[in-house]
Amino acid sequence: MGVMEKMRNSTSSILWILIFSFGILWVLADVDFFSGFTAGPSNLGDVNGDAISFEEYNNRVSFYTDQFSQQTGGSAMTPELRTLYENQAWEDLVAARLFQQKMDQLGISVTDNELIEMITGDNPDPFIRQQFADESGNIDRIALRAAIEAPENSQAWIMIEQQLRDNRRQQKMGNYITSGLRVSSMDIKNEFIKNNSFADIQYIRFPFSDVSDDEITISEADLTEYHRNNAALFQREETFRFRYVSWEKTPTAQDTLNAIQDVEDLRNAFEASQNDSLFLSSYQSEVRYRNEFIPVDEIDEDFSAVIDLEVGEVSEVMMINNAPHAIKKIDQQGESIKFAVLTFPVMADPIGTIDRLAENAEEFEFYASSDGFETEAERRDLEIQTATATKGSPFIPGLGSSQITLDALEDLGRNRISDPIELNDRFIVIQLLERVPSGLRPLDEVRQQVENAVRTEKRKEILYDRVRDLRAQNQDLETLAAAAGKEIVVATDVRMASNTLEGAGREIKVIGSIFGMEIGQLSQPVQGENAIFVIHADDISMVNESAMTPAQRSEIRSQLEQQKLMSFNEVFLEKLKEEASITDNRSRLIR
């Protein structure tokens, strides 16, 4: 019996099976059985199982964007800056979760009695004191009691109490941390001495460049040994090799005409304006208002048309440096003129031009994903460019600083093509070619870097031996300078805590050696960052600890505690991250 005949004979059975199967599917769909497979993550991420919601993430992003809007007067935010704020919002929420969990682990809490004391105690929380202080600065207990007992304030008090608990809890955590970061009396003494000890010196500087390349011989063994012994210098983070095509956000001819028309439309209002400073500010003119008279012979040639205008008259729209300008003659005194300039930059239209570029990028990504990146680029006559990015470093040669691109690369698999990415000045679509793991870079890859380092080390050795021989033959600075053909440099009031030496730049090691010398002593050669030094100590004034006042001691203690706390917090947070299980669903849900 043929296959087709068997199928015809089985038709009734197959139909009943299909009907039964569809019935089951309808029932399962009706009870939302498949939503668990299709819905994806329900939260933006979590930290050790503690979920981070869309709402709190969006609120945090809004906090940053609102701040930007207030600071810039509502200026448009670039895609890169928004990505920076989004990443900062995520890091804030992760850090908050980690600190909260650590406080829970340490058993740091705030009791009800503590909370009551913070509100109604003898020394209430600063927030309560601020809200219920009378004219004398004392707590108005009657007003406070009335606010507590008012039924309409019940929800507000719940929020206030929670905030007070959180603040006190964080304060306890801070106290816990700082208790292990004590600043000793020796720390304070050393800091006082470093900041208040000075020296007057003379020195001769022998820069490493005095040794020519012809005097240096480098072998393969030298390179191999340096590369092996200094492996930490040649470690790399995970890197991404990729290629991309781009669409520049270049204004079109129509965009230029639109900008010209914008200025033209404001000419009459500009001419009628009684407050030109406010007018230019309101319309965000690129040229700021100058409330001063400019001599005619000092007026920029681009604005010279103002000379022939009547007072109060506005010029025709002129193109200056590829932007439309209208100039108003405000007043004239003799050969000096006061004027104002209205101008807007020509920008790509966000609807006509930018949307069209975005559509082009989306179409490219769609067809490139099926037909191939090179094929589609050739079809559209687009130039393919290659680049390399390093994890943790948003600067990408060819693209500039682009956290958006770095985020996209981290989410891509090998040979996968990204969705269109909007940068500040262009749209790009990228294809990841290779993901190179972190580790020691091979010698062949860093050969030039290793060779330069070895050459520098050999140059230092040669110069040190040369200066040591000269120093042995000359017992004072003057004869040494004459023998070496060098000048003596005088440096006064060299502070022990300073990082830079007058006439020599950043030389911490050299400054440190000065304060180990005796007055009148001529040093042996001292190797610095960029040169070999021979130093004569004219005078060294080491401050005595007894000169420190109580106020200075307190100030130094506070400074050192703050420095230690900032350093510890960075390390502490990174350690918490290393030990935590952090899930980030942003790439799946919102990128």
Given 343, 360, 391, the domain boundary residue is 343
Q: How many domains does the chain have?
A: 5
Q: Does 202 share its domain with 259?
A: no
Banded pLDDT at 280 (limits 50, 70, 90): confident
pLDDT over 80 (residue 181): no
What pLDDT, on a 0 to 100 scale, did the predictor assign at position 472?
A: 94
Q: Does 396 share its domain with 368?
A: yes
510 lies in a domain? yes
In the chain, what percentage of residues exceed pLDDT 70? 92
Q: Does 510 share its domain with 480?
A: yes
Q: Does 466 share its domain with 530?
A: yes
* Global model pTM greater than 0.75: no
Q: Does 360 share its domain with 488?
A: no
pLDDT over 80 (residue 552): yes
User: Phi-psi bin for 365: left (phi > 0), alpha (psi -120 to 50), beta?
Assistant: alpha
Percent of the chain that is helix, strand, coil (3-state, to 5): 55, 20, 30
What's the CATH code of the domain at 494? 3.10.50
Query: Exposed, middle or buried, 484 (CB in 10 Å: 0-12/13-18/19+)?
Result: middle
Q: What average pLDDT does range 384-395 have in this prediction? A: 91
286 lies in a domain? yes
Question: 9-23, 53-67, 167-181: which range is least confident on average?
Answer: 9-23
68 lies in a domain? no
124 lies in a domain? yes
Angle 473-476-479 (CA atoms, 0-180°, nearest 5)? 70
Cβ atoms within 10 Å of 113's Cβ, excluding its own? 9
63 lies in a domain? no
Backbone dihedral angles phi then psi of residue 393, each to the nearest 5 degrees:
-125, 105
Q: What average pLDDT does range 94-105 have in this prediction? A: 87
Question: 12-21, 75-84, 236-245, 550-559: which range is least confident on average?
Answer: 12-21
> 305: which residues sit within 8 A by CB, 6+ positions away?
315, 318, 327
What pLDDT, on a 0 to 100 scale, did the predictor assign at position 40?
A: 56
Half-sphere exposure for 560 (CA within 13 Å, toward CB):
18
Write out the E strands in 344-436. 385-390, 395-396, 400-401, 421-422, 426-436
Given 323, 343, 363, the domain boundary residue is 343
Tell me the two tokens of residue 465: 């031996």
Average pLDDT score, the chain: 86
Tell me the two tokens of residue 285: 């003119």
Q: Does 242 share its domain with 366?
A: yes
416 lies in a domain? yes
Taking only the tens place, the pLDDT of each residue in 102-158 is 888 888 888 888 888 888 888 888 888 888 887 777 888 888 888 888 888 888 888
Backbone dihedral angles phi then psi of residue 288, each to the nearest 5 degrees:
-75, 155
CA distance 270 to 268: 5
Q: Is 498 helix (H, G, I), strand (E, B) or coil?
A: coil
pLDDT over 50 (residue 572): yes
Q: Does 363 share its domain with 426?
A: yes
412 lies in a domain? yes
pLDDT over 70 (residue 14): no
Q: Does 283 share its domain with 263?
A: yes
Q: Is 549 helix (H, G, I), strand (E, B) or coil?
A: coil
Q: Report whether 474 contacts 480 (CB < 8 A).
A: yes
Distance (Å) of CA 429 to CA 199, 374, 391, 418, 426: 60, 12, 19, 6, 10
What pLDDT, on a 0 to 100 scale, did the predictor assign at position 75?
A: 67
Taking only the tens place, the pLDDT of each residue in 349-382 is 777 788 888 999 999 999 999 999 999 999 999 9
Q: Does 9 share its domain with 133?
A: no
Q: Does 327 share its domain with 356?
A: no
Q: Does 163 share its domain with 205?
A: no
Q: Is 578 helix (H, G, I), strand (E, B) or coil?
A: helix
pLDDT over 50 (residue 36): no
Given 309, 343, 377, the domain boundary residue is 343
Q: Which range of residues forms the domain containing residue 420? A: 238-250+350-437
What's the CATH code of the domain at 418? 3.10.50.40
468 lies in a domain? yes
Q: Does 453 share its domain with 528?
A: yes
Q: Please choose, from the candidates 541, 536, 552, the residue with its C-alpha nearest in 3D space to the C-alpha of residue 189.
A: 552
What pLDDT, on a 0 to 100 scale, did the predictor assign at position 551?
A: 93
